[in-house]
């Protein structure tokens, strides 16, 4: 197959699509407008400390689990993965009490049943449901017919209603929602499929990557180049050009034209619309539909360099919540929830808490590094609120701090081009899955979408979507065969 595919954007989805298409003999050119590849996988150095932008941990990496066949296919299993503590990979702290999430569905139930003995049956039902969803992951996202995935009934069911129907104790419901920083817990919109698939993968097994998430992007790019593909940085695209309903290529910001038989866009749909501004196949009804889609919440992050040997490493994540926090109705005016993520290979931790674009939009038009003292003061106050919340669990943290670096949704937008600094892409709504859960297809026959804005976010979700996008070009049966799915 000698056809050429241009991939716009070198985030995880774009690089995975380029890898799969190059593996199938296509000529592939990846065009990234930034000077670095990786998107939210990027790592960055402050002094001698290497911090991650968006990757903190992944789930389902062992053989037989959700992510394993995908990372096997993309040749990512040999990176320095480190499994988190099986007895407690996630610790949920609510007020004065702490609860452990254990690896494996049976151990997960046993650990929480010790604290909630009257809810054992509900926990069994909860864990079994998640396990069933995970076991049928490939039937749902690589069905024989593409409509099977997007017509999934679990996209049309409420995650919040499922939790209330399954678990009677409100405190246990809060505990099971306690890793909420992995997704936007919106009681009015979150589909059950998103909640179940993501939570299940981490219960299967949880892993950190020593040495930074940039390794994933660099490894994919290296393999793309070894198969004859090209990965270009500082190569922003200004337009997708079409003729008779099909793209003929893309125009770069320097006016260079790159011919293409296919285009895959690993960027926000709003940006794709901008690139297709002069394409007659893209009708106003499609534009209005895309423009009406809302984005999920963003994140504030404090990247903290620690003094050497000042605080012990913990091989788990810690999610700390105020006792009165409503995890399904996020209040970003106050810090009610913080995720603590450790680095296993250096003295550093990250503190993350939800933040909306509207919280920082007043500084959006100001240049990086010159947003003013009020912006710095705002971020410093957020750091202080995060520390106050977590220091009961980590009393030595404050004295262990060497330096704090901060980022907001403005930072995410500036360096990764995520729309409105969103952490989880477009908000999916169980009331209208056929509208908010996007397919890879666009009105232009040979232009396709990929990435977290389509169906699922995170490493698992984007990897699934990448395969699904490539199946539109190579065929569903071909991708099932390559992934060794029967």
pTM: 0.94
Looking at residue 190, its pLDDT comes to: 95
Looking at residue 147, its pLDDT comes to: 47
Domain map of the chain by residue range? Answer: 1-486
How confident is the model over 311-344, as pLDDT tens digits?
Answer: 999 999 999 999 999 999 998 999 999 999 999 9
Residue at token pair 């407690």: 88
What average pLDDT does range 27-48 have in this prediction? 94
Does residue 154 surpass a pLDDT of 70? yes
Q: Which residues, at least 6 apart from 412, have a Cβ–Cβ distance to it below 8 Å? A: 40, 53, 54, 298, 299, 418, 421, 422, 423
Angle made by CA atoms 199, 208, 482, in degrees to the nearest 5: 70
How confident is the model over 110-126, as pLDDT tens digits?
Answer: 999 999 999 999 999 99
Q: Lowest-pLDDT range, 109-118, 142-151, 200-209, 437-446?
A: 142-151
Quick one: pLDDT band at residue 485, thresholds 50, 70, 90? confident
Looking at residue 151, its pLDDT comes to: 46
Does residue 285 surpass a pLDDT of 90? yes
Chain-centroid distance, C-alpha 340? 17
Pair of tokens at residue 115: 């604290």
**Domain 1-486: which CATH class?**
alpha beta
Pair of tokens at residue 47: 């002094």
How confident is the model over 419-431, as pLDDT tens digits?
Answer: 888 999 999 999 9
Quick one: pLDDT band at residue 2, thresholds 50, 70, 90? confident
Does residue 259 surpass a pLDDT of 80? yes
Does residue 149 surpass a pLDDT of 60? no
Q: Lowest-pLDDT range, 135-144, 365-374, 470-479?
A: 135-144
């Amino acid at each position: 197959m000698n056809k050429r595919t241009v991939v716009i954007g070198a985030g995880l989805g774009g690089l995975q699509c380029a890898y799969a298409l190059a593996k199938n003999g296509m000529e592939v050119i990846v065009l990234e407008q930034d000077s670095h590849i990786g998107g939210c996988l990027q790592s960055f150095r402050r002094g001698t400390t290497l911090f991650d932008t968006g990757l903190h941990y992944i789930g389902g990496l062992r053989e037989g689990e959700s992510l394993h066949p995908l990372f096997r296919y993309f040749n990512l299993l040999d990176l320095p993965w480190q499994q988190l503590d099986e007895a407690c990979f996630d610790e949920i702290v609510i007020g004065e009490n702490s609860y452990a999430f254990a690896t494996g569905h049976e151990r997960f139930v046993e650990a929480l049943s010790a604290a909630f003995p009257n809810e054992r049956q509900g926990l069994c039902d909860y864990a079994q449901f998640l396990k069933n969803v995970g076991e049928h992951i490939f039937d749902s996202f690589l069905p024989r017919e593409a409509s099977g995935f997007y017509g999934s009934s679990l996209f049309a069911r409420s995650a919040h209603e499922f939790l209330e129907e399954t678990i009677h104790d409100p405190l246990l419901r809060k505990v099971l929602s306690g890793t909420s920083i992995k997704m936007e817990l919106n009681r009015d919109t979150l589909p059950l499929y998103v909640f179940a698939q993501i939570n299940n993968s981490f219960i299967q097994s949880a892993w950190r990557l020593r040495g930074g998430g940039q390794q994933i992007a660099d490894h994919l790019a290296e393999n793309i180049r070894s198969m004859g593909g090209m990965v270009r940085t500082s190569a922003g695209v200004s337009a997708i050009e079409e003729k008779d309903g099909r793209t003929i290529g893309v125009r770069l910001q320097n006016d260079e034209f790159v011919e293409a038989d296919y285009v895959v866009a690993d960027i926000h749909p709003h940006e794709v619309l901008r690139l297709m501004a002069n394409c007659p196949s893209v009708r106003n009804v499609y534009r209005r539909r895309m423009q009406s889609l809302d984005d999920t919440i963003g994140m504030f992050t404090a990247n903290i360099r620690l003094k050497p040997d000042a605080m012990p490493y913990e091989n788990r994540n810690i999610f700390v919540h105020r006792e009165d926090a409503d995890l399904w109705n996020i209040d970003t005016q106050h810090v009610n929830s913080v995720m603590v993520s450790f680095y296993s290979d250096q003295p550093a931790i990250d503190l993350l808490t939800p933040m909306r674009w509207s919280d920082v939009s007043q500084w959006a038009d100001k240049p990086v590094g010159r947003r003013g003292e009020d912006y710095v003061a705002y971020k410093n106050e957020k750091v202080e609120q995060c520390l106050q919340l977590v220091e009961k669990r980590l009393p030595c943290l404050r004295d262990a701090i060497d330096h704090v670096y901060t980022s907001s949704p403005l930072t995410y937008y500036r360096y990764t081009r995520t729309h409105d600094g969103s952490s989880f892409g477009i908000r999916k709504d169980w009331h209208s899955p056929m509208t908010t859960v996007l397919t890879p297809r666009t009105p232009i026959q040979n232009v396709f979408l990929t990435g977290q804005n389509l169906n699922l976010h995170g490493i698992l979700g984007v990897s699934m979507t990448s395969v699904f996008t490539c199946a539109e070009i190579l065929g569903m049966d071909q991708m099932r065969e390559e992934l060794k799915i029967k």
